Amino acid sequence: MGKVVTIGEPMGMFVAQTPGNMKDVASYDRFIAGAEVNVSVGVSRLGHQIQYITNLGRDPFGEYIYDFLNQEEIDTSLIKFDSNYPTGFQLKSKGSKGDPEVVYFRKGSAAYHMEQSRLDEIDFKDVDIFHVTGILMALNDRTFDLVKRLILKAKQQQILITFDPNLRPTLWESKDLMIERINEIAKYADYFLPGIEEGHILTGNTEMEAIADYYLNRGIKGVIIKAGPKGAYGKWRTSDEIQVLEKEGFHLDEVVDTVGAGDGFAVGIVTGLLENLSKETMIERANAIGAIQVSHISDNENLLDNCQ
């Protein structure tokens, strides 16, 4: 059973019960959001150990999230409660097509104020994979530096690093800063997992092969590009050759909610690496979990508890 460590910001999430403008919605259903939470739930349900690092406000949202993570058998020993700052939350619309509208209430949250001192508390001993996204590092200079220093620490201990850029332009000071910093961090990853549109934003290229080559030429071991219903494209470097694999996605009659699909895909890659699956089987698993995610309204409730 492999062990994974991740760091991020979990949030309370309220999903509108009815379609339309959120200012007119009277009732919402409560869930938990956060890319790293989704990955943590998926990895844990597939039988692997995962430790989640974050700060939560000492408030009902924070307690709700903490209890949820423990119920999912996620290691919460490095979660800290902060009495000075709140837990973030978000509102999500209910739409019939396309991406839902999401409104964040996270600036100034407990995770936003995560300190560099967390670095000294984190030990990568007995860890197989450090999974990071581009979300926490987008909040401010302090969180960016913390994530970067943790990655360098993991690299020194020869820990495999998977990096999903998970672009959130509204969280960044500017698009240019987002591109610069995501690409700066990407060069430290062993496996980089952008969506095809994210790859276009980050590199200026539209073809998946060109996007992959952009990062392989910067020393990354492997690039696996999410292409939605079209599936995925993987290109990676072995000791003596470059390998390429394209895998078709799964056909769905109905897409309910696209949020969380990329996180489900990451679950497939992370667990596939832990289990030493073939690249083809790993990407097929990633495509399958991503497809399951878009079939449900919540971000993590319907993640698999087995891959049979």
Q: pLDDT (tens digit, 9 = 90+) per residue, 72-91?
A: 999 999 999 999 999 999 99
Backbone angles phi, psi at 127, to 5 degrees: -100, 140
202 vs 251: which has the higher pLDDT: 202
Q: Which of 257, 263, 299, 305 is catalytic?
A: 263
**Which residues lie closer than 8 Å to 206 by C-beta, 6 or more apart?**
200
- pLDDT score of 267: 94
List for the chain the helix, strand, coil content (%; round to 5). 40, 25, 40
The whole-number pLDDT of residue 1 equals 57
Mean pLDDT of 184-206: 96
240 is catalytic: no
Structural domain boundaries of the chain?
Answer: 3-293
Q: Global pTM?
A: 0.90
Q: Give residue 15's Cα distance to chain centre.
A: 20
DSSP 252-302: -S-----TTHHHHHHHHHHHHHHTT--HHHHHHHHHHHHHHHTTSSSSSTT
- Note the CATH number of domain 3-293: 3.40.1190.20
Q: In whole angstroms, give the CA distance from residue 308 to residue 296.
A: 20
Using one digit for the tens of pLDDT, what is the confidence trace for 156-175? 999 999 999 999 999 999 99
Contact 271, 48 (CB under 8 A): yes
